[in-house]
Chain A
């Protein structure tokens, strides 16, 4: 009876060496926290949705490179990435259409609040979060697809060479 392999074990043959795995275990939480900080405070400090989303995607790529793609897929499966991507793209079109009820397309309809607060500037933090999630899931999914396809091609080339 085969037990389920522990994907995050330090001595599993997939992924990189022991030092890399230990360091990534410490650093990955900081990377994700930094990414979310850049997204959420995008209207007060430099950054915004695109930069923060790409930082989060780099965090997932770090997990994939250090531990193998199975562990990264348990954190965000390809179906989950697809759902998050499409939902955020749809919402990014629907929320401006909601602004038509208050005036015109893309109107900043929530109350603006006091400047320099976290909750201020109307709908801009919401846009930042939507774009951040969309960019994260897109870039992680495309990295997985390209690297899996690359491995498939190298397997084909090896089989072709063996046949000759």
Chain B
């Protein structure tokens, strides 16, 4: 239980950084930390005690895999989620660079002040 709670604490810290900091790069870092926390939470839920990876080798019996294998479904979903996080980060960085070109600063409160 304490493991799940600590992962949610990490998630909350990522969202705090996203809200309360004014520099855009810090906000991007907060979103990245949130991503890591959520992926970790999903994989922790799928762990089985004394588990082995869900990959079959040559001299392994089927009984070993079904009795000790960890949950493969969260791993499939997290594989998707990690690479999507990278794509979203590239889009955020592109917008960030355009904002810097226009307003010459990374500071959100300055941009709010200068914006018309």
A122 within 8 A of B: no
User: With a CB–CB cut-off of 8 A, which chain A residues contact B86?
Assistant: 54, 139
Known: A46-B55, A146-B90, A146-B93. A54 touches B101 (CB 8 A): no
Q: Does A157 contact B (CB under 8 A)?
A: yes
Number of interchain pairs (Cβ within 8 Å): 28
Question: Among the listed A46, A135, A150, which residue makes an inter-chain contact with B97, where contact means beta carbons less than 8 Å apart?
Answer: A150
B contact residues around A50 at 8 Å (CB): 79, 82-83
Q: Do the beta carbons of B90 and A48 come within 8 Å of each other?
A: no
A54 touching B104, Cβ below 8 Å:
no
User: What sequence of 0s and 1s flags, for each residue 64-85 of chain B, a beta carbon within 8 Å of any chain A beta carbon?
Assistant: 0000000000000001001100
Report, as a range, how many residues of chain A touch the other chain. Answer: 10 to 19
Q: Within 8 Å CB of A115, what residues of B?
A: 56
Judge whether A116 is part of the interface by a CB distance below 8 angstroms: yes
Q: Which residues of the partner chain A approach B56 to less than 8 Å between Cβ atoms?
A: 115
CA–CA, A38 and B90, complex, Å: 24
Secondary structure call for the A interface: helix
> Which residues from B are CB-within-8-Å of A157?
104
B90 near A153 with CB under 8 A, answer no
Cβ–Cβ contact B58 & A116, under 8 A: yes
B79 and A48: CB pair below 8 A? Answer: yes
Given A146-B93, A146-B94, check contact A156 B101 (CB 8 Å).
yes
Residues of A participating in the B interface, judged by any CB pair closer than 8 Å: 45-46, 48, 50, 54, 115-116, 135, 139, 142, 145-146, 149-150, 153, 156-157, 160
Q: List 28 A-B contacts (CB under 8 A).
A: A45-B55, A46-B53, A46-B55, A48-B79, A50-B79, A50-B82, A50-B83, A54-B83, A54-B86, A115-B56, A116-B58, A135-B83, A139-B86, A142-B90, A145-B94, A146-B90, A146-B93, A146-B94, A146-B97, A149-B94, A149-B97, A150-B97, A153-B97, A153-B100, A153-B101, A156-B101, A157-B104, A160-B104
